[in-house]
Chain A
């Protein structure tokens, strides 16, 4: 399936559930998605952008992973230059949805896409929990 088949969209929350990745990672992501129903897609990628696991439909996982990696790199650099310490979370609230990124251990990035009026409190603690579990597992 290509990007073109879905009107250029990289993700399609309304499509059937499509998962990939190791069982343990998938279970952690699925548990998080089940607890926070506002989540449309959760994805785990390596720091250099390779997708490790995803729950939700991603048309081009590597492209989404690469974007998350780029965003994290830019924000890390900004945090360093502004002397704000280590990057903990990135939240992009947009008109059509919300993108949440955070490191999951040393080697991975947890990316979550949700509906625009997401319950941010629940999303953050569920993401922190998932990231801690993933960090332990990796």
Chain B
């Protein structure tokens, strides 16, 4: 089978939406990381499942059916570079300790404040969301707040082992061209096994 696959917008959002390591989510994250060098093919799926063709085939079919991946012949392949960042947008990437990691369009003090606020809002929201069936706390996927007369959206990203907050002023950022390669570059750099 020579077809290659690409992850869709829905697949990307599903992959980074939760810290729960479900099979499909782990596979999609591996898919994202593989896309670093070349398109994802069926042989990559086989390799992921240690040459178990049947499971690989079922997983690919399931993801295709759910619209998380798509078959493509000539997808423009964007290699992961340091330039895969929101070049013209205001953004702040911060960790779950409330510390800024990277930012653009904010002053240093603003970035420090916003990183701390974003972390607090996510934590507070987490306390108020509870799954009554399992009794576990639920994490919000995103939050909209107002900061210094600007509407900002805080996205909670779970990139495998690495969770972080992406705060953006553009509400359509998830549909922007930079979003996919940016997430992919973060996955490739920071989703690693802890020693």
Contacts and interface: CB of A to CB of B under 8 A. Distances in A.
Interface stretch (A3-11, A18-26, A71-79, A127-135): A127-135
Nearest to A103: B195
A132 B99 CA distance: 20
Mostly helix, strand, loop or mixed at chain B's interface?
Answer: mixed
B195 A119 contact: no
A122 B115 CA distance: 12
A46 to B, nearest CB: 15
Given A121-B94, A121-B100, A122-B102, A132 B162 contact: no
Interface in B86-116: 94-95, 97, 99-102, 108, 115
Contact of B101 (A122, A131, A132, A135): A122
A27 to B, nearest CB: 15
Interface residues of B, number: 16
B23 interface: no
B192 A121 contact: no
Contact of B195 (A120, A121, A125, A131): A131
A125 B101 CA distance: 8
Contact of A125 (B95, B108, B115): B95
A104 interface: yes
B97 A105 contact: no
A99 interface: no
A122 B101 CA distance: 4
B193 interface: yes
B195 A136 contact: yes
Contacts of B97: 121, 124
A134 B97 CA distance: 24
Interface in A95-138: 104-105, 117, 119-122, 124-125, 128-129, 131-136
Given A121-B97, A125-B190, 19 more contacts: A104-B195, A105-B195, A119-B100, A119-B101, A120-B99, A121-B99, A121-B115, A122-B101, A122-B102, A125-B95, A125-B162, A129-B190, A129-B192, A132-B192, A132-B193, A133-B195, A134-B195, A136-B193, A136-B195
20 contacts: A105-B195, A117-B108, A121-B97, A121-B99, A121-B100, A121-B101, A122-B100, A122-B102, A124-B97, A125-B95, A125-B101, A125-B162, A125-B190, A128-B194, A129-B189, A129-B192, A132-B193, A132-B194, A133-B192, A134-B195
